[in-house]
Amino acid sequence: MNERQFRAIQSRRSFLTQTAGAVGLPAMASLLGGAEVPNPLAPKKAHFEGKAKNVIFMFMEGGPSQMDLFDPKPALQKWHGQPLPASMTKDLQLAFIKPTAAVLASPRKFEKHGQSGIEFSDYIPHTAAQADNLCLVRSMHSDAFNHHPGQLLLMTGSTQFGRPTMGAWVTYGLGSESKNLPAFVVLSSGVGTSGGASNFMSGFMPSHYQGTMFRNSGDPILYLSNPAGVSNNTQRAAIDAVRDLNQHRLEQAGDMEIASRIAAYELAFRMQMAAPELVDFSKESQATLDLYGVGKEPTHQFATNCLLARRLVERGVRFVLMMHASWDDHTQLNRKLKRNCDISDRPTAALIADLKQRGLLDDTIIIWGGEFGRTPMVEVRNTKEADNGGRDHHPFGYSMWVAGGGFKGGTVVGATDELGLAITEDKVHIHDLQASVLHNLGFDHERLTYRHMGRDYRLTDLGGKVVKKMLA
């Protein structure tokens, strides 16, 4: 019995309970029989055979500067320190600076890498070495120029709060291949995101589709271990008793949140055995730990999350969201950007290489990027501080990359003008990226829907198209 059939039975039971009266309940129960709670995260078939089955979303909260990392703009040098003509900036929506702000040319050096010859900044040499595995999109655009709306759009397809996130949609569509770990796991590093839990919520879907936050030291989840004096047998007996009570209430109310609660208790019990093994790196070779930068600074925390992400997808976890904050460099761009690149560059490249050599990259999609990019104009918040300049939010043409899982490595899609103000070739909206990811997982994004309040919703809202240039 699947979840849809179970909900239909419970709806009929609820109707009969309200209309048949107490006398008719025994007869009704004998006719319907007991409905077993289906596993809401059982593996499911997609619309067609997809090339990918897992996703690792490396979310760089705050908006990395594309023109300092992925999209070289040497023409900015001739405008450095000067405002651009009003005719060029009149349509820009800016969060903090004015269109008359001076241009800030990038001091970064760009070089071509790999057989594909894609240009990358000197701040990310390890990622650059993976050029032939990356599909770099230089023409991303968003409808939002502030953080929380931008993150909601990227993760849920809407700037409105309360929709399911991408991880929830993927686990709703495909279920999970892991019996002992959550289908959707969240790992964090840095100082926290503007969107917080809204980046991994299930919205109006049942809560078993939402992300489960893991810690990267100690117990993966707080209170996962049994309290002192409580054995596994005692824990099992307590969970069985709670399950029976919840099952009784579920049969009365037909509320899928109760089914989610039953599934969560059962999963938590199984995780008590599986999760400690997950975070035990003792069987990883020293070469692997060194490749990621585990145990070294400043890479250790981010590297631990990257290695955990690989171990999670190996164990059948469907969607891993890695949130690293923050790339919101309104000030001290050169120092802050280098710090984040030093933290993330080596582990990111290691994750790609490790997945590839294990044969996992072919069916694992990696997404890297933030909710928008940065302006070519400077933002200065403290004129008395040397090298204080940063960049404001820029949703009108920025860069993200994807790798593996049916995306075409060694490819650049789209282009922006010589100053990085606007897209000149192959615009890729966030909905287009979402549609392309779902396509490689085996879904028609217009058909992957969830009915709520009398309407069918989807991740791509009312837009989105598959970007064929991105596909292998």
Q: How far is CA 415 from the centre of its chain?
A: 24
CA 16 – CA 13 distance, rounded (Å): 5
Q: Residue 193 domain-assigned?
A: yes
Burial class (CB in 10 A: 0-12, 13-18, 19+), 164: buried
Q: How far is CA 202 from the centre of its chain?
A: 13
Residue 31: per-residue pLDDT = 42
Pairing of strands 54-61, 455-457: unpaired
Q: Residue 239 domain-assigned?
A: no
CA 416 – CA 427 distance, rounded (Å): 9
Q: Residue 317 domain-assigned?
A: yes
pLDDT, tens digit, 9 for 90 and up, residues 222-264:
555 656 655 666 656 666 676 667 676 767 666 767 766 666 6
As a whole number of Å, the CA-based R_g of the chain is 24
H or E stretch covering 321: strand 319-325
Helix (H, G, I), strand (E, B) or coil at 15: helix
- Residues of the chain below pLDDT 70: 1-37, 216-240, 242-244, 246, 248, 250, 252-254, 256, 259-274, 386
Q: How many independent structural domains does the chain possess?
A: 1
Name residues whose C-beta falls within 8 Å of residue 22's C-beta, 6 or more positions apart in sequence. Answer: none
Pairing of strands 118-121, 134-141: unpaired
Q: Residue 110 domain-assigned?
A: yes
Q: Residue 436 domain-assigned?
A: no
Picking from 400, 404, 399, 401, the residue whose alpha carbon sits closest to that of residue 365 is 404
Distance between start and end Cα atoms, the chain = 37
Q: Which amino acid is at 381?
A: R
CA 134 – CA 307 distance, rounded (Å): 19
Q: Residue 183 domain-assigned?
A: yes
Picking from 189, 212, 213, the residue whose alpha carbon sits closest to that of residue 326 is 189
DSSP 73-97: -GGGGGGBTSBPPHHHHTT---SSS
Q: Which domain holds residue 104?
A: 52-158+167-217+279-355+368-397
DSSP state of 216: S
Render the burial of 415-433: b for 16+ CB within 10 Å, e for the rest. ebeebbbebeebebbbbbb
Cis peptide leading into residue 225 (ω within 30°) = no
Q: Residue 323 domain-assigned?
A: yes
CA 214 – CA 198 distance, rounded (Å): 16
Residue 17: per-residue pLDDT = 44
In angstroms, what CA-CA distances link 114 with 68, 118, 134, 347, 429?
A: 19, 7, 10, 19, 27
Q: Residue 438 domain-assigned?
A: no
